[in-house]
Amino acid sequence: MASLQNIFPLVLSLLGLLLLSSPLSHSMSIHDLLRTKGLPAGLLPKEVQSYTLSESGLLEVILDGPCLTKFDTMAFYESVVTANLTYGGLTGVQGMSQEELFLWLPVKGIIVNDPKSGLILFDIGVAHKQLSLSLFEDPPNCKPQGVLEVNAMKEKRFEA
C-alpha cells in the first residue's frame, strides 16, 4: 500500500509534464485546426512549417517564406501570419494581402457567419468582400513571388 502512495504523485507529475509538453500546435495540422473552428482549410497554404495557438486565441503561423497564390485574385502571405482565432473567424490578421484592381490591400479579418450560405467574408480595410467558400476547400500551393511572375508571363505568351 505504501508503494502505491509513492507512485501516485509520480504518475500525476508525469501526466502533467506530458500535457505541458504537447501544445495544441502539435496535436493537429493547422488545416485541421481551421476546420474545427468552422473555417475552411484553404485559408492558409500547404507551405506552413509550424504554428502556435495561445490560450487567448492568438494564432501565429510560420510559412516556408513569403509567397503568392491565387483564389479569385492574387493573395500574398508573408513568412509569418498572425490573427486572433475564434469560431468562424480570424480577426486582426497580419501578414496577408489581396490584390484588388492592381492594389495590394491588407486582409484585416476573415469571417464565416453562416457556413450554409456558402460564403466567406474578407475584410480588406476599405471594403468587405464576399467570396465562395468553395474557393478555400483545399490548401493552395503557394509559390515565391518570382516563380508566379514567370508562370504568368508564360501563360500570356500562349494566349497571344
Higher pLDDT: 20 or 2? It is 2
Could you write out the three-class secondary structure of 133-154? HHHHCCCCCCECHHHHHHHHHH
Domain definitions of the chain by residue range: 29-159
The confidence score (pLDDT) of residue 146 equals: 56
> In the predicted model, is pLDDT for residue 15 greater than 90?
no
- Is 7 in a helix, a strand, or coil? helix
Total residue length of the chain: 160
Q: Give tens-digit pLDDT for 95-106.
A: 999 998 889 999
- Assign 66 a pLDDT band (cuts: 50, 70, 90): very high
What's the CA gap between 22 and 146, in Å, rounded?
37
Q: All 3 cell numbers of residue 141?
A: 500551393
Q: Are 48 and 63 in contact (CB under 8 A)?
A: yes
| Chain mean pLDDT for the chain | 82
Helix (H, G, I), strand (E, B) or coil at 25: helix
Q: Is the confidence at residue 154, as pLDDT, over 70? A: no
CATH no. of 29-159: 2.30.240
C-beta separation of 51 from 139 below 8 A: no
How far apart CA 116 and CA 133 sit, in angstroms, is 10
